[in-house]
Structure 1
């Protein structure tokens, strides 16, 4: 949860910087994209401890630990009034997404004997194509 929280700090910086720079469309798309992406992170935090049946306050604490930094990042990113600070905050957000991609690919290669083949599977390529298509759609609809 702590690692995900630090990762979410970068996402919050990107969202705040997008809104601070006046790109509300970009900020909205970032919120939607990060929301979809963070659903899986929540499952990744909760699944390993479900068999132990922890109290509800444990889940609340883990939620705050993982999600709180995103709010802090949003506040910090929203203070980025100079273009160079906005660019830095957006770059940190892009780095957060790159970190997820690198981790997932390396996990796939470590855990499966056919890791390279699985990365090139039709379903993986379709997901990549859908992501790139969504990126280009966002670029067409959002003016920075």
Structure 2
């Protein structure tokens, strides 16, 4: 798989990778054709798994390469990693406060962001997962931009692993949109369309990321750690709390461990 990607331009690498992750979101949304609702324990398990994948990806595919690259610069290696990481979290915090959205399984009264009152539940649900997909797409774009620089032999493998891991955890994201909408009375077709549509932002944000780092090479350590910070903020603020709010805390916590372990194995095996 890595050999296939190595023959492509970074733009095409990123496009293919994020079309895959978008497709996995659509795959999750197809669950609406099989059932009207999903077992809550299974949903919490899938969310916990997604959180574990994102935590592992943030370190092995983003922060670790950022520190390795920063060691070649005259400034201490921890500065780009720390600054980029914190800025990534602040960036997503700002977006979270601005974009109106509603977490799956939450009442409409708990919608967050500016001007959320009066908006349809379907719109708020799609915006919630779209918000999730911004840092995921950005992370993929930055990772493939790093691989294109040829700065170390494992960069491209790390980018491929990151895309694979994010694709896996996009399955529950697609389902978390389509199934609640079906339960609210939407047709199966419309529920699926809304669910897969939420993944469209990943290719867009990924292309922004890859163009930025390939055009401005000194930004690369900051950009990698920025993407990691945005993902960790998302996991801490929404993914893990959402997996535990229905009482399945032990199951969700073990799912985080499993997701982290699988992503770690993938990164080590492919890297």
Instruction: State TM-score, norm by structure 2.
Output: 0.42
User: Structure 1 residues 108 and 76 mapped into 2: Cα distance closer, same or farther (>3 Å)?
Assistant: closer
TM-aligned CA deviation for residue 8 of structure 1? 0.8
| Unmatched 5+ stretches in structure 1 | none
Residues 14, 74 of structure 1: 8 Å contact kept: yes
TM-aligned CA deviation for residue 26 of structure 1? 1.3
Partner Cα separation in structure 2 for residue 46 and residue 3 of structure 1? 13
Map 1:1-144 to 2 at 5 A: 1-22=126-147, 23-51=155-183, 52-54=185-187, 56=189, 59-64=192-197, 66-79=198-211, 80-81=213-214, 82-98=216-232, 99-112=234-247, 118-119=249-250, 124-125=253-254, 127-128=256-257, 131-132=260-261, 134-135=263-264, 138-139=267-268, 141-142=270-271
User: Structure 1 residues 130 and 55 mapped into 2: Cα distance closer, same or farther (>3 Å)?
Assistant: closer
- The more displaced of 29-38 and 52-61 is 52-61
Q: 1:54-92 CA deviation, whole Å, 9 max, x = no partner?
A: 27356335522x112111111111111234533344334
Partner Cα separation in structure 1 for residue 270 and residue 196 of structure 2? 33
- Aligned to 1:111, what secondary structure does the other structure show? coil
- Aligned to 2:182, what secondary structure does the other structure show? helix
Aligned residue pair count: 135
| Unmatched 5+ stretches in structure 2 | 1-125, 148-154
- Superposed CA RMSD in Å reads 3.0
Which protein is richer in helix relative to its size? 1
Partner Cα separation in structure 2 for residue 49 and residue 128 of structure 1? 29
- Aligned to 1:10, what secondary structure does the other structure show? helix
Q: Which protein has the larger Cα radius of gyration, Structure 1 or Structure 2? A: 2
TM-aligned CA deviation for residue 11 of structure 1? 0.9
